């Protein structure tokens, strides 16, 4: 049957029909009507982090990684020194893009099955006064770990260091309150927990550091200070915005608000995550992370320890049944991942578990409680 599959991936994810229907119009990017959409999105994004008194928000075309690179390029001066707290693939990517743009970068490594440590950060900052900025991935979806944003932010504040948070997969689901947690920049994107379609990111920048960002970026496209200044002056994006993506995001935010905002979204995702983990355990599939490190965003499972298991066959058989799983991203252990986010609830998660059970039996892999 011609029915969309459920995307159990960390974005692009399943969106509502209402969100997609918003894309059935063409908008002039120069027009005041579209400027109104942009302004509304920016205002409501600031609502979500309670950031109106402390931050501005700057949208940017491209994938989330474009916004991460733009945040580093815009926030960190040319002679800055960035410390990346690394417990996974997205941390490594942040380190790489910082190094490529010619900023000095240091990386402190942590195990990928646990959160990064504010205490270790404190030691690093004591040991090297040249560090100007710290990069934290809030939810490292490589394994699915939630990192301690509040603890890291407190240490950065004590030391007077700038904090750049990649909150790509956590924003709008995990609580982030700019009145309580100090960050210089925080980055997310349209196609994640706000349940829009992919195509743009956005960066919250602390007002106190904004003016100092002028001239930092060596990239025109990635210059968030320039993007901000132009948008404030004209209401428009500097370069052609992905108009359909922007209006879909506006529509997705309306549904986010109607659902009850971040607490409601977290509750639904947490329920999805519990339904998933409980169901998979009954099939004999073990989550890779300990519960205390697991964010309710994406769950890494150990692959079945069975000669008949093969990810491609497993994936294809689940897809046939209407569910798109996600490959593992760990280098040392064979795993697969299942997202808990998107416009899906307990029913879809239970159906996904049922489908995985069928697939394992079809592959001749015993399903027994782990």
| Residue 172 binds a second copy (CB under 8 A) | no
| Residue 218 binds a second copy (CB under 8 A) | yes
Q: Which of 207, 214, 239, 305 forms a contact with a second copy (CB under 8 A)?
A: 239
- What's the closest the beta carbon of residue 278 comes to a second copy, in angstroms? 25
| Residue 93 binds a second copy (CB under 8 A) | yes
Segment interacting with a second copy, rule: CB under 8 A, options 80-88, 176-184, 241-249, 254-262: 241-249
Site string for a second copy, 288-327 (x = CB under 8 A): -------------------------------x----x-xx
Half-sphere exposure of 238 (CA within 13 A, CB side): 15
Q: How far apart are alpha carbons 55 and 319 in whole angstroms?
A: 42
Q: Which of 44, 50, 92, 96 forms a contact with a second copy (CB under 8 A)?
A: 96
Query: What are the CA-CA distances from residue 370 to residues 100, 287, 294, 328, 367 (Å)?
Result: 44, 10, 18, 20, 9
Nearest to 318 by CA among 287, 357, 282, 350: 357
Residues 98, 82 contacting (CB under 8 angstroms): yes
| Residue 61 binds a second copy (CB under 8 A) | yes
Q: How far apart are alpha carbons 156 and 162 in whole angstroms?
A: 7
Q: How far apart are alpha carbons 203 and 51 in whole angstroms?
A: 12
| Residue 240 binds a second copy (CB under 8 A) | yes
Segment interacting with a second copy, rule: CB under 8 A, options 47-55, 169-177, 233-241, 296-304: 233-241
Q: Which of 35, 54, 65, 229 forms a contact with a second copy (CB under 8 A)?
A: 65
> What residues are paired with 61 via a beta bridge?
200
| Residue 62 binds a second copy (CB under 8 A) | yes
Q: How many residues bind a second copy (CB under 8 A)?
A: 59
Sign of CA dihedral 326, 202, 45, 291: positive
| Residue 333 binds a second copy (CB under 8 A) | no
Query: What are the CA-CA distances from residue 256 to residues 49, 218, 249 (Å)?
Result: 14, 36, 10
Q: Which of 41, 193, 210, 245 forms a contact with a second copy (CB under 8 A)?
A: 245
Q: Give, for 149, the enclosing helix (H) or strand (E).
A: helix 149-159
The size of the chain, in residues, is 370
| Residue 120 binds a second copy (CB under 8 A) | no
Q: Which of 87, 117, 217, 275 forms a contact with a second copy (CB under 8 A)?
A: 217
- Cα Rg, the chain, nearest whole Å: 21
By beta-carbon proximity to a second copy, the closer residue of 196 and 284 is: 196
| Residue 17 binds a second copy (CB under 8 A) | yes
| Residue 53 binds a second copy (CB under 8 A) | no
Q: What are phi and psi of 193, to 5 degrees?
A: -70, -10
Segment interacting with a second copy, rule: CB under 8 A, options 47-55, 57-65, 122-130, 150-158: 57-65
| Residue 207 binds a second copy (CB under 8 A) | no
| Residue 1 binds a second copy (CB under 8 A) | no
Sign of CA dihedral 279, 281, 285, 288: positive
Residues 318, 363 contacting (CB under 8 angstroms): no
Q: How does DSSP classify residue 337?
A: E
Half-sphere exposure of 244 (CA within 13 A, CB side): 8
| Residue 272 binds a second copy (CB under 8 A) | no
By beta-carbon proximity to a second copy, the closer residue of 46 and 58 is: 58
Binding site for a second copy (CB under 8 A): 4-5, 7, 9, 11-15, 17, 20-21, 23-31, 61-66, 69, 73, 93, 96-97, 100-102, 189, 191, 197-199, 217-223, 239-245, 248, 319, 324, 326-327
């Amino acid at each position: 049957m011609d029915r969309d599959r459920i995307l159990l991936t960390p974005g692009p994810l399943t969106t509502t029909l209402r969100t997609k229907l918003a894309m059935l119009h063409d908008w002039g990017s120069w027009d005041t009507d579209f400027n109104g959409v942009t302004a509304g999105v920016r205002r409501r994004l600031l609502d979500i982090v309670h950031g109106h008194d402390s931050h501005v928000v700057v949208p940017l075309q491209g994938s989330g990684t474009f916004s991460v690179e733009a945040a580093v390029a815009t926030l960190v001066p040319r002679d800055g020194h960035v410390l990346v707290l690394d417990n996974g693939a997205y941390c490594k990517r942040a380190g790489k893009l910082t190094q490529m743009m010619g900023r000095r970068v240091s990386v402190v490594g942590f195990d990928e099955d646990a959160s990064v440590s504010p205490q270790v950060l404190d030691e690093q900052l004591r040991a090297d006064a040249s560090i100007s900025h710290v990069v934290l991935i809030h939810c490292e979806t490589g394994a699915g770990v939630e990192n301690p944003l509040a603890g890291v932010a407190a240490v950065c504040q004590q030391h007077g260091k700038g904090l750049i948070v990649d909150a790509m997969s956590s924003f709008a689901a995990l609580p982030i309150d700019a009145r309580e947690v100090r960050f210089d920049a925080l980055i997310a994107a349209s196609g994640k927990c706000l349940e829009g379609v992919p195509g743009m990111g956005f960066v919250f920048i602390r007002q106190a550091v904004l003016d100092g960002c002028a001239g930092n970026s060596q990239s025109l496209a990635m210059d968030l200070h320039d993007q901000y200044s132009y948008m404030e002056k004209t209401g428009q994006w500097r370069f052609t915005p992905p108009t359909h993506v922007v209006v879909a995001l506006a529509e997705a935010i309306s549904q986010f608000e109607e659902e009850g905002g971040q607490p409601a979204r977290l509750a639904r995702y947490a329920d999805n995550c519990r339904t998933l983990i409980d169901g998979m355990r009954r099939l004999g599939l073990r989550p890779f992370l300990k519960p205390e490190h697991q964010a309710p965003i994406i769950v890494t499972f150990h692959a079945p320890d069975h000669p008949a298991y093969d990810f491609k066959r497993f994936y294809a058989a689940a897809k046939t049944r209407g569910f798109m799983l996600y490959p593992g991203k760990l280098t040392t252990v064979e795993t697969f991942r299942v997202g808990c986010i998107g416009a899906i609830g307990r029913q879809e998660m239970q159906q996904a578990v049922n489908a995985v059970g069928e697939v394992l039996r079809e592959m001749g892999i015993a399903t027994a409680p782990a």
